Amino acid sequence: MTDPDPFRVIFVCTGNICRSPMAEIVFRELVKERGLSGRIVSRSAGTGDWHVGEHADERTIDALARRGYDGSAHRARQFTADSFAENDLVVALDRTHERILTQWARDESDEGKVTLLLTFGAHGDGLDVPDPYYADTQMFDDVLGMIENASHGLLRQLEPAIRPPAPRH
């Protein structure tokens, strides 16, 4: 019996240099810790094309490193119509991204793939992960904490459907 295709998750923010790379990297690490690397794939993209091909923002890389993650290999990419077909779940980092992605959806199936990250975690007063781009180092750390919390919740939701059944004896 061959392994099924992996479940593909893409995290989407504006430029793919701050929030969505954090989410991609954090989620990938959680998946790896649970032994599900071959069963779940994590990616990220931006709604805009301004940073395509660039590294993540230095402050993103630094915030990730402070928590033990490696963001040095990230290269920004743009979400396209084909991204719907290439992914099973499209996770928006705020409601603006959710609206844009829903508008870009070609049909109900695409639209049904779009969700907000903070619906999976303790999110306090809102559903938007704030954009730290114009903020200080502390905001990058705070945003990373929000992403970590929600990523744990997302994986808890996915894991029962992804984990292979225990072998029968």
**52 pairs with which residues across the strands?**
none
Rounded Cα distance between 76 and 131, Å, is: 16
> Among 35, 34, 54, 32, which Cα is nearest to 44's?
54
pLDDT at 167 over 70: no
Q: What phi, psi does 43 have (nearest 5°)?
A: -135, 175
pLDDT digits (tens, 9 = 90+) for 96-126: 999 999 999 999 999 999 999 999 986 566 8
Q: Which residue has the tokens 């992804």?
A: 162
pLDDT digits (tens, 9 = 90+) for 143-165: 999 999 999 999 999 998 886 65
pLDDT of amino acid 39: 94
Q: Alpha helices of the chain — where are they, by DSSP H?
A: 19-33, 58-66, 81-86, 95-104, 108-112, 137-162
Q: Which residue has the tokens 């061959």?
A: 2
pLDDT of amino acid 1: 46
pLDDT digits (tens, 9 = 90+) for 19-35: 999 999 999 999 999 99
Q: What is the side-by-side order of every strand in the sheet holding 40-46?
A: 40-46, 7-13, 89-92, 114-116
Give the catalytic positions in this structure.
13, 19, 131
pLDDT digits (tens, 9 = 90+) for 54-100: 999 999 999 999 999 999 999 999 999 899 999 999 999 999 999 99
Residue ranges per structural domain of the chain: 7-160
pLDDT digits (tens, 9 = 90+) for 48-59: 999 999 999 999
pLDDT at 8 over 60: yes
pLDDT of amino acid 168: 60
Fold of 7-160: Rossmann fold (3.40.50)
pLDDT of amino acid 126: 81
